Chains A and B, each alone.
Chain A
């Protein structure tokens, strides 16, 4: 993807630009604060996000399906989008078969903890990550030498092949899928349903009567029980993983590797001339993205239901992942996370629309991409470039005087 096209200021400002500008101002204001204040804000935001399924705030809470489960899906999508953002946003490689890595991670966990062996969950997780990473290297090594646009179709094929293999190989459960996948171990007392909920203590949920909150003691989340009844502990687990991955993502992006990705994405030949081994870094991005895909797939497999089948890994989800990254703002981790949450959340929130919801979702994707081509939260780099371009244009037109540069 080339950025020069990003620099052209749009002729007409769409309503979404206002939202983007509003957000940019917030980010700048946040960054201008002293570090201790930033830390306090971050902790508060984190506590809020952890507590979200317990608070059950009006309007955002889904009434038709379990809100904890929806939050779990949102966090899963956010994690997937974060991983795919490394491949698409940082390294500029269009991967249309990301679901293949997700499925690989899920199936490794399924096979190890239920279908053929009885491993505990946390033993299978590292193996799922390693296997998907190796899959990524095996797929990437020959195909990353192929030109960019062709990579899209090769990865698309990979996603389709993985789904067909899962559907056809009886060793992997074929079309019936794998059930009874191990959950993470519970802390505190072991649950013994239906009489003993287990856990160390219980947190009641809130319920809202209009705008008046009250405690709902009939619905409690038992800390920390990974059972079949409550999705919220799974949400907390995946949210914790998400935060860890965000920290890792920051470190990698700011490192030599992150700069090499940026250089490769902007101009591969120039990067190569500067001594960047572009192939190595592209492969690294691909493998790292794959590993995060495997991680999220594994977490998904051991989720509340503990059940996976090939229908969960249809190729169309790959498209949704790409849409999440690009609509959110390719290259900006917060944009990707926002995109993931939107793509997961909207169809569930508007479940009452019934059959209409994917039709409207498709229209929404079109409107979003036309109104805000750079994504909801574009990376700062693109913002700076646009501002500079606008300034140069203004200078060329003679609208402003050069005072000092």
Chain B
């Protein structure tokens, strides 16, 4: 244990905190998908991590299409046009995957009023199929004889390996807090994530669609009696979750730059942890949980060593659940102010 690494200097402390906030913001955006689906359907949308993973590939493909395979060592400002296209593409692809997921893996079970656990198994199956399917993209392209035409997209023969894609954005010093230099990349990620969370929160709180979501989350039967189309609401929930996962995927690619077919798994588990930590079913809880988890695991990595990053996150979760058994904010989606 090395407390000095974290608290030894003010600069170190700040750098770990801000580094944690960046990842926390991404966790928070992915956590939204888990928390909203849980709020409405009371089921763990295990395949949401793959929705995110598809988003990261959309970003990679947009960079290949618009820039080529060589690494674009650009500053953030120069890559903004491509990034915007990538953002739209990622949000669209993620949303489509999320909607398909709802249609194929969940709706038949919801219709049958099946036990929640079996929906979890269906989700696990979907998660396997989606991530393995992405790993097989070269084989699928080969079926149509397209694997060489699309070589830059499907990397024939090594699709299961790390997809080194050309997104590498050089962070630039923006301003300093203490001795820590805040870069434009860090700031963009945090601001963009928080902004999107606020927009979504307002959407759910103020619009007609949002009221429908909250009504179904509160009491599906009464909502149905009041004329809320619950299938439509569930679809909308998945759509919003998918859009947010796509946004998270874009921010993730800005920071990390590479992706792989199993990139979603660990991040998904973390995001779900964040959702539970903040109080599952609670949108603001997801933001708080995500940021807290990001910061805490960054501190944990600093104090105990990087290999204990994930362990810190889970120990923290257990401790929080022991003190507050329903998460920090612990308020369900339906119980939010009407």
Contacts and interface: CB of A to CB of B under 8 A. Distances in A.
Contact of B112 (A8, A145, A165, A358): A8
B82 interface: no
A264 to B, nearest CB: 16
A315 B124 contact: no
Contacts of B127: 362
Interface stretch (B7-15, B88-96, B316-324): B316-324
B255 interface: no
A152 B269 CA distance: 11
Contacts of B126: 362, 366
B189 to A, nearest CB: 25
A132 interface: no
A373 B118 contact: yes
A127 interface: no
Interface string B11-38: 0000000000000000000000000001
B314 A358 contact: no
A175 to B, nearest CB: 10
Given A322-B120, A366-B122, A369-B121, A8 B129 contact: no
Contacts of B317: 153-154, 157
B284 interface: no
B117 A326 contact: yes
Interface in A129-173: 142-143, 145-147, 149-150, 152-154, 156-158, 160-161, 164-165, 167-168
B311 A161 contact: yes
A158 B314 CA distance: 8
7 contacts: A1-B115, A88-B117, A146-B322, A358-B132, A362-B128, A368-B121, A369-B118
B209 interface: no
A146 B279 CA distance: 13
Given A164-B311, A322-B120, A150 B326 contact: yes
B77 interface: no
Contacts of B115: 1-3, 5-6, 373-374
B125 A147 contact: no
B193 interface: no
B116 interface: yes
A364 B125 contact: yes
Interface centre among A6, A8, A160, A359 (most CB of B within 10 A): A359
Contacts of B108: 370
A161 B310 CA distance: 8
Interface stretch (B133-141, B219-227, B246-254): B133-141
Chain A CB within 10 A, most for which of B105, B124, B272: B124
A80 to B, nearest CB: 16
- Give chain B's interface secondary structure class: helix
Residue with the highest number of chain A CB atoms closer than 10 Å, among B42, B44, B265, B314: B314
A323 to B, nearest CB: 5
Interface in A322-360: 322-323, 326-327, 330, 355-356, 358-359
A161 B104 contact: no
A326 B121 contact: yes
A198 B109 CA distance: 55
Q: Which interface class (under 10, 10 to 19, 20 to 34, 35 or more) fits B?
A: 35 or more
Contact of A359 (B44, B133, B322): B133
A354 to B, nearest CB: 9
A164 B310 contact: yes
B91 to A, nearest CB: 25
B139 A356 contact: yes
A200 interface: no
A160 B318 contact: no
B74 interface: no
Given A164-B308, A365-B125, A373-B118, A154 B318 contact: yes
Chain A interface, DSSP helix/strand/loop, else mixed = helix
A361 interface: yes
B114 A5 contact: yes
Interface of B: 38, 42, 44, 46, 104-105, 108-109, 111-122, 124-130, 132-133, 135-136, 139, 160, 265, 269, 272-273, 276, 280, 307-308, 310-311, 313-315, 317-318, 321-322, 325-326
A386 B276 CA distance: 34
Given A2-B115, A88-B117, A168-B308, A365 B322 contact: no
B325 A145 contact: yes
A363 interface: yes
A355 B129 contact: no
Given A326-B120, A359-B129, A369-B122, 9 more contacts: A88-B117, A150-B276, A156-B269, A157-B315, A164-B308, A359-B128, A362-B130, A366-B104, A373-B115
A364 B129 CA distance: 9
B325 A8 contact: no
Contacts of A367: 125
Given A5-B114, A373-B115, A147 B325 contact: yes
A164 B117 contact: no
Given A167-B307, A369-B118, A160 B113 contact: no
Contacts of B120: 94, 322, 326
A149 B122 contact: no
A46 interface: no
Contact of A366 (B38, B105, B315, B321): B105
Nearest to B315: A161
A152 B116 CA distance: 13
A176 interface: no
Contacts of A374: 114-115, 118
A149 B280 contact: yes
A362 B105 CA distance: 11
A20 to B, nearest CB: 14
Contacts of B326: 147, 150
A160 B135 CA distance: 24
Interface in A1-42: 1-3, 5-6, 8, 10-11
